[in-house]
Amino acid sequence: MDDSAMLSVDFLAGFTIFILALIMVINMVPGIMIGLESQNIDYDAVAYRTGVILVEDPGWPANPPWELKDEYHKDDIHRLGLAVSANTPNVLSRAKINRFFNDSFFTDEDYGQKVIFADMPYAPYAYNIALKVGDELLPPRGDDVPKRSYGYIRRLVKVKEPHYASIDCTNLVRSETEENRTTTYFSVELDYAKLYDKSISEAYRIDPRFEPVNITFENFDQSLNSTDTNEVWLNGTRFYKEGVAGEIPFGYDIQDDESYQLILEDNSGATTYHTLDDHCQLNDVSKIRLILAPPLPFAYETDTVLTVKMSLDYDFIDVNKTKQFINGTFEYNYQDPDNVMTLPTLTDGVLEVCVW
Amino acid sequence: MVNDQAQMYTLEGFAAGVLMLLTAYLVLGTTTVYTPGDVHITDMQLQQLGSDALAMMDLPDTEPEIYGSGENILEKLIVTDNSTDFRTYFLDNITRTTDPKKTVVNDIQFNATIYYRMESPPVNESEIQSYHFCSSGNDARSDLVSREPAVRVTRFVTIDAKHYPPNPKPQITLNHDVDERAQVVLLEVLLWRG
């Protein structure tokens, strides 16, 4: 009898221990990766994602855009992007900004669900979203930034400022009449096909379907011949659409800031708000401002030609004098021979998102 | 014949195994793998910031075709070879913030190079040429040594000297022998925290 069997026991013991050791080491490998994880990485990633959604995405729904939803349809909004369109990253819409930073429209819960996407109840995020446009710092959304570490991203942006027309009435085409009383019309024509010019980047494009149209008549009182004008009245404002007979059915007699604002300003700077149906005396009015909020009625198609027609009643004093009044049609367009249009311009800004 | 040799071998093997196991456990348990955990995050932030800054400088504030005065500041600075104003604009962009307290580090250095294509390069030279355009410091070469790890951002910029009337030639042609034709150049900016 020799001792070769004893060697097999040694081998068996050693091999067993080796296998045990190997199993333990393999089990420990995931553990040694723990050191690579960092709490900040999650928050930085969330901040980055939020920044991308805000700056590069127009939000959802995009057409018609979410900023046109009212309080009752807020649940239809799924994502709060601020970009003018997906083709213009870093160019933000002023209308979206105004809605996003509106104190009374969205709640903290809305921001959490529609832009931070903190939809896991066990992992709520605190956040701070701040936007500065030019020198104007908008009231930040969320909480104050903590002193401890937080996820952070900074994005440089430009903000598309609104377009508007400022028409000096003293430069308007005047006509003459021999009648003592006369009714004249002044129209503003919005040809969507011309405005919706695809050769112009969306960053500079006028899109009355989704953007407010702002028309101001300046120096109206100076356009009157004061020695010969007894009274002048604004006798209603109406919308007309090419191809549709008669005026567009609309709540002309309802004052609604969400649809339009008709503001008269006198020489002292005092302003009064009116409906489009009101009869307003204009003798001492220096400015007539009409703001049409999107969407305009019956004007969703890109080939719409919409005319806003203001009716003016003049009552003259001297029957022997030649009477003067304003009338004509002004085209709200990029081509601007009278130099009355202010087209969309971009203003520098910076957006910062902090998440913790 | 029976002796105690086998028991000796078994005990030695067992002891050695336990030692190996303990050693492995201790070594792996006490080793901390040091990794630059957040470096890639700050790199990403810096890269995004630089990329945004170039994009914003390459976007006129007004529609050029309509107004005729929509000035592309990035194109203008390259054509006129105005590195001083580029430094001002670029630093103004990348240091812009809503609240300086939020930004941990805002001391950012950079170095910009322009790559362009020559239609008829000198013999034995590449069509693709480059020149140093601008840096955050006054001495370009001093920025290239002993600096922190940098991130790289690039932007293709369309330049047309006709937009900025040359007299007698555009500055970019006089200073760097870049062709006068309308062309696309590559602007490369290296960014690092100072």
Report the gap between the CA of B17 and the closest CA in chain A (Å): 6
- Cβ B49–A345 below 8 Å, yes or no? no
- Cβ A152–B45 below 8 Å, yes or no? yes
Q: Is residue B67 part of a domain?
A: yes
Residue B186 pLDDT greater than 90, yes or no: yes
Report the gap between the CA of B174 and the closest CA in chain A (Å): 32
CB burial string A113-130: b at 16+ within 10 A, e below = bbbbebeeeeeebbbbbb
Q: Phi and psi for A241 in degrees, rounded to 5?
A: -125, 135
- Cβ A346–B62 below 8 Å, yes or no? yes
What gap in Å lies between CA B8 and CA A10, rounded to an integer? 9
- Cβ A44–B41 below 8 Å, yes or no? yes
Instruction: Locate B37 and state its tokens.
Output: 């955990």
Which of A1, A12, A16, A17 to probe the B interface (max B CBs under 10 A)?
A17
Whether residues B70 and B131 share a domain: the answer is yes
Residue of chain A with shortest Cα separation from B20: A21
- Cβ A156–B63 below 8 Å, yes or no? no
Q: pLDDT digit string (tens) for A191-221?
A: 888 888 888 888 888 888 888 889 998 888 8
Least confident of A159-163, A335-339, A343-347, B2-6: B2-6
Tell me which residue in B6, B20, B33 faces A6 most closely, judged by beta carbons.
Answer: B6
Report the gap between the CA of A34 and the closest CA in chain B (Å): 9
Question: Which uninterrupted H or E stretch holds A18?
Answer: helix A4-32
In this structure, the number of other CB atoms found within 10 A of the CB of residue B186 comes to 15
Which residue in this structure is represented by tokens 């050029």? B64
Whether residues B22 and B51 share a domain: the answer is no
Whether residues B15 and B67 share a domain: the answer is no
Q: In percent, how much of chain A has pLDDT > 90?
A: 15
Q: pLDDT digit string (tens) for A98-125?
A: 989 988 888 888 888 888 887 666 567 8
Residue of chain B with shortest Cα separation from A129: B98
Taking the Cβ of residue A317 and every Cβ of chain B, the question of whether any pair is shorter than 8 Å is answered with no
Least confident of A136-140, A246-250, B71-75, B130-134: A246-250
What gap in Å lies between CA A212 and CA A289, rounded to an integer? 13
User: How many domains are there within chain B?
Assistant: 2
Whether residues B6 and B93 share a domain: the answer is no
What gap in Å lies between CA B187 and CA B191, rounded to an integer? 13
Taking the Cβ of residue A6 and every Cβ of chain B, the question of whether any pair is shorter than 8 Å is answered with yes
Range of the domain at B52: 39-193
What gap in Å lies between CA B173 and CA B180, rounded to an integer? 6
Whether residues B45 and B23 share a domain: the answer is no
C-beta of residue A197 within 8 angstroms of C-beta of residue A82: no
Whether residues B14 and B53 share a domain: the answer is no
Q: Phi and psi for A354 in degrees, rounded to 5?
A: -120, 135
Spans of all domains in chain A: 39-160, 164-342
- Cβ B41–A157 below 8 Å, yes or no? no
- Cβ A3–B25 below 8 Å, yes or no? no
Compute the residue count for chain A.
356
Entry pTM: 0.79
In this structure, the number of other CB atoms found within 10 A of the CB of residue B156 comes to 11
Residue A231 pLDDT greater than 70, yes or no: yes
Whether residues B3 and B73 share a domain: the answer is no
pLDDT of residue B54: 94
> DSSP letter string over chain B?
---SHHHHHHHHHHHHHHHHHHHHHHHHHH------TTHHHHHHHHHHHHHHHHHHHTS-SS-HHHHS----HHHHHHHTT-HHHHHHHHHHHHT--S-GGG-S---EEEEEEEEEE-SSPPTT--SEEEEEEEESSS-HHHHTSS----EEEEEEEEE-GGGS--SSS-HHHHHH---SS-EEEEEEEEEEE-
Taking the Cβ of residue A188 and every Cβ of chain B, the question of whether any pair is shorter than 8 Å is answered with no
Q: In percent, how much of chain A has pLDDT > 70?
A: 88
Whether residues B4 and B96 share a domain: the answer is no
What gap in Å lies between CA A3 and CA B4, rounded to an integer? 10
List CB contacts (< 8 A) between A28 and chain B. Answer: 25, 28-29
> DSSP letter string over B56-76?
HHTS-SS-HHHHS----HHHH
Q: pLDDT digit string (tens) for A246-257?
A: 888 888 888 887
Q: pLDDT digit string (tens) for A324-338?
A: 777 778 888 887 777
Whether residues B117 and B189 share a domain: the answer is yes
Q: Give B155's contacts (C-beta < 8 A, 6+ positions apart).
A: B51, B54, B55, B58, B74, B186, B187
What is the DSSP code (8-state) at residue A62?
B
> B153 pLDDT band (50/70/90 cuts)?
very high
Tell me which residue in A20, A152, A345 faces B61 most closely, judged by beta carbons.
Answer: A345
pLDDT of residue A351: 94
Whether residues B65 and B138 share a domain: the answer is yes
ipTM here: 0.79
Q: Is residue B156 part of a domain?
A: yes
What gap in Å lies between CA A259 and CA A291, rounded to an integer? 9
- Cβ A91–B18 below 8 Å, yes or no? no
In sequence order, the β-bridge partners of residue B115 are B130, B186
- Cβ A17–B14 below 8 Å, yes or no? yes
List CB contacts (< 8 A) between B96 and chain A. Answer: 132, 156, 348, 350
Whether residues B155 and B90 share a domain: the answer is yes
Tally the C-alpha atoms within 13 A of residue B37's C-alpha that lie toward its C-beta: 14
List CB contacts (< 8 A) between A25 and chain B. Answer: 24, 28
- Cβ A17–B17 below 8 Å, yes or no? yes
In this structure, the number of other CB atoms found within 10 A of the CB of residue A278 comes to 18
C-beta of residue B121 within 8 angstroms of C-beta of residue B129: yes
Q: Which of residues 45-84 of A touch B (CB under 8 A)?
A: 48, 51
Q: Is residue B34 part of a domain?
A: no
Most confident option among A38-42, A321-325, B58-62, B146-150: B58-62
Whether residues B18 and B48 share a domain: the answer is no
Q: State the Cα torsion B113-B104-A53-A127 to the nearest 10°.
A: 180
pLDDT of residue B178: 87
